[in-house]
Amino acid sequence: MTKQVFNFKDYIRPRFFPHIWCPGCGHGIVLGSLLRAVHELGLDKNEIVITSGIGCSSRISGYVDFHSLHTIHGRALSFATGVKLSKPHLKAIVPMGDGDALAIGGNHFIHAARRNIDITAIVMNNRIYGMTGGQFSPLSGLDKKATTAPYSTIDRNFDVVELAKSAGATFVARSTVFHANECKNLLKKGISHKGFSVVEILTQCPTYYGRKNKEGDAIQMMEGYKTNTVKIGSKKLEKNPDLIQRGIFIENTDIPEYCEAYDKIIETAMKGKA
Amino acid sequence: MKNKNNIRFVQGNEACVEGAIYAGIDFFAGYPITPSTEIMEHLATRLPQKGGKFIQMEDEIASMGAIIGASLTGNKVMTATSGPGFSLKQEALGYACMAEIPCVIANVQRGGPSTGNPTHVSQGDVNQARWGTHGDHAIIALTASNHQDVFKITVDAFNMAETYRTPVVLLLDEVIGHMREKLVIPEPGEIPVVERLRTSVKKGIDYHPYLPREDGRLPMSDFGAEHRYNVTGLFHDMWGFPNNNPEVVSELLRHLVDKIENNVHEISMHKEYWMDDAEYILISYGSSARSAIHLARNRRSRGVKLGVLELQTLWPFPTEMVKEKCAGAKAVIVVEMNMGQVVTQVKNAVDNPQTVFLANRIDGQLISPTDIKSLLRMIQGKGV
Amino acid sequence: MAKGKTVKHLIDKEWCKGCGICIHFCPKNVLEFDKHGKAKAARPEDCIACKLCELRCPDLAIQIIEEQEVEHEKQE
């Protein structure tokens, strides 16, 4: 923990502000939480490589004063895998949107989890494709409106937490941008965790998702995160099992991390045992 | 006298691996695909022995992504594939062009389109290597017809990737990849090896990852080192930040094309056989060139003034060189295993395109000297 | 007011996009819209420096600075 007072200007590239996100977009709150997490962990900016894909979420990488790799749609985790495996001492953070993480990038998501490579995947779940103007995503869920679902969606949604758990992620957590402090704490734990960590953050898209689905403006959507979510195992779930749970779902330190496992392969190979 | 331990009897795919090791490969990511798989199999063994990293990714796209990521931390990187996989890699390959990331992509060609003819030879991906990814760009693609040359051009591919900060395609083919023949591993220093050019800009001083030096080269800074910059597939300024200012866009696109097209003389490699007095010229490359050389040797013994121009650099296409070499020829026959991809370039290069003919085979079988001879005799007016 | 502290609200009006999140969720009703539709600290003296506005500002436009000058002088 650093003693220095947090000032986000120490961690951003201020010339690109104000950012491109819409008024009330939750992504800026994710950005703020991430910067605070990095600050409180006392990480060296030179140690961090932030790798993103395409979409609103991916713009985070350009705003932060870390090594930043803005890649192609859905493939950020594969680029980050190359970064991490080649230089395991670097901290790999990968912010992704719905499509990046679970549509076009779904394969990379489950395989990064399976390998347990030490990457922190931040799934910024706003239940919509924002950059392209409001098409439904694999996180939208049933009976939602989108430009590509004018009569409402018939596609079910993934549960990011369940998917990450079953794919083998060794740290899985969920929070919302309403709970910005909790968000920061979970990011700290995710980044510190040795292995593949997934932090799902519910973040509002008032411009497309909110408007199309009559969920109101950013404020109303954040009120929704307050009322529709509870801490894991809350008693409120007995009355209302549909409430979304927040917190740490899995934190497993027994599974070998991929880069460390590969170091052992190198050791074996160098002894000529291959 | 060569060290006997340096003499091997290997597949072309292994010769490629040996070349990569000689060039200093640190990192390989790939996905199994016939007929390239032996490249990844051998590197899975060889890389960790020298402290390098090998990873079998979940798909072809991820492999391309992983090598780009690893290149940015300062590694010499490579992936290997064949047609269907090469198709999948194209978007990320374009990213490497745009973001100027050194990397080597081996495509051991098989018959296409689609799944095509996986275990048989083809040279159908020549144009895909040039134009597979979208948008204007330049690319370097190298090829070879024997294992000694496969070794050499693999080293060249790594060298060019570093020199020009660009992806380099190694266009091998199934026959070259799977055939076994002798390979003599050169001694260290015998073939020059180009190392990553890193910036000398000190910490705290503004570093421009995308500002070429006077000699055109762009010194890099490893991810993890003191310079934090941005890498993107968007048009970008000299710091790597997205920029769509019309001047920035046009200047960057011109730079990406010019850095390769203006250096054709440096990049272009070819071999000549009996070309000094050749009246008829066979232009070929890859495994097809073996048949062309065989035929020329055979015809020379019968007094036919036949020469062979073997291309090792397919892209950027050596237009000037081909024009010059073919200037006095009665006829030029392009020998390739596709519907005519290099022949279009040759017709475009020479003064008399009507004297350029295509000897090809597209059925998955290696083109034979007899196949070429039939056409040659027709052109000579001798009948088949 | 937070005990023994003065609280400064640095609000970057260029960065603020006027979403109103900070105003709505402020537990002490310190903030309101200015005439340009941007956030301003109308009642800074009521601020308890919980920093929820800073944490939840999507535009990174708010910084809460706690100054302990008064206490500092007393100690000396």
Model confidence at B129, in pLDDT bands (50, 70, 90)? very high
Question: Is B79 a member of any domain?
Answer: yes
Question: Is B384 a member of any domain?
Answer: no
Element (H, E) at B260: helix B246-261
For residue B360, give both structure tokens. Answer: 């090809």
Interface test with C, best of A15, A29, A33, A203 (most C CBs within 10 A): A29
Last residue of a domain, one of B249, B267, B285: B267
Q: Does C33 touch chain A (CB under 8 A)?
A: no
Interface test with A, best of C5, C21, C51 (most A CBs within 10 A): C21
Residue range(s) defining the domain that contains residue C35: 6-75
The pairing of beta strand C6-11 with beta strand C62-67? antiparallel
DSSP state of B306: E
Provide CATH code, domain A11-270: 3.40.50.970
Q: B residues 66-95 near A, CB within 8 Å? A: 66-75, 77, 91-92, 95
Give the position of tokens 């694999």. Answer: A138
Last residue of a domain, one of B235, B267, B299: B267
The CA distance from B90 to B85, in Å, is 9
Question: Is C46 a member of any domain?
Answer: yes
Tell me the pLDDT tens digit for each residue of B218-272.
999 999 999 999 999 999 999 999 999 999 999 999 999 999 999 999 999 999 9
Question: Is B337 a member of any domain?
Answer: yes
Element (H, E) at B371: helix B369-379
Tell me the pLDDT tens digit for each residue of B21-64.
999 999 999 999 999 999 999 999 999 999 999 999 999 999 99
Dihedral angle, C-alpha A111, A117, A118, A122, nearest 10 °: 0
Question: Is C11 a member of any domain?
Answer: yes
Q: How many residues are there in chain A?
A: 274
Please report all neighbours of A, defined by 3+ CB atom pairs within 8 A.
B, C
Q: Domain with C28 in it: what CATH number? A: 3.30.70.20
**Whether residue A273 has pLDDT greater than 60:** no
Confidence at residue A265, expressed as pLDDT on a 0 to 100 scale:
98
Residues B125 and B137 in one domain: yes
Question: Is C50 a member of any domain?
Answer: yes
Residue range(s) defining the domain that contains residue B82: 1-267
Give the position of tokens 């609200």. Answer: C9
What percentage of chain C's residues is helix, strand, coil (to nearest 5)? 25, 25, 50
Question: Is C1 a member of any domain?
Answer: no
Mean pLDDT of chain B: 97
Tell me the pLDDT tens digit for each residue of B186-216.
999 999 999 999 999 999 999 999 999 988 8
Q: Domain with B42 in it: what CATH number? A: 3.40.50.970
**Number of folded domains that form chain C:** 1
Contact A49 B225 (CB under 8 A): no
Residues B77 and B216 in one domain: yes
Dihedral angle, C-alpha A82, A87, A91, A94, nearest 10 °: -10
Model confidence at C32, in pLDDT bands (50, 70, 90)? very high
Q: B residues 205-224 near A, CB within 8 Å? A: 222-224
Residues B108 and B129 in one domain: yes
Last residue of a domain, one of B205, B238, B267: B267
**Percent of chain B topping pLDDT 90:** 97
Please report all neighbours of B, defined by 3+ CB atom pairs within 8 A.
A
Tell me the pLDDT tens digit for each residue of A100-142.
999 999 999 999 999 999 999 999 999 999 999 999 999 999 9
Mean pLDDT of chain A: 96
**Number of folded domains that form chain B:** 2
B and C adjacent (3 or more CB pairs under 8 angstroms):
no
Q: Are A13 and A65 in contact (CB under 8 A)?
A: yes
Question: Is B303 a member of any domain?
Answer: yes
The CA distance from A52 to B222, in Å, is 18
Tell me the pLDDT tens digit for each residue of B296-336.
999 999 999 999 999 999 999 999 999 999 999 999 999 99
Comparing CB atoms, the residue among A70, A78, A79 nearest residue B230 is A70
Residues B232 and B277 in one domain: no
Contact C58 A12 (CB under 8 A): no
Model confidence at A2, in pLDDT bands (50, 70, 90)? very low
The CA distance from A215 to B342, in Å, is 59
Tell me the pLDDT tens digit for each residue of A77-103.
999 999 999 999 999 999 999 999 999
The CA distance from C55 to A34, in Å, is 11
Task: Give the CA angle between residues C9, C13, C17 to the nearest 5°.
Answer: 110
Residues B170 and B311 in one domain: no
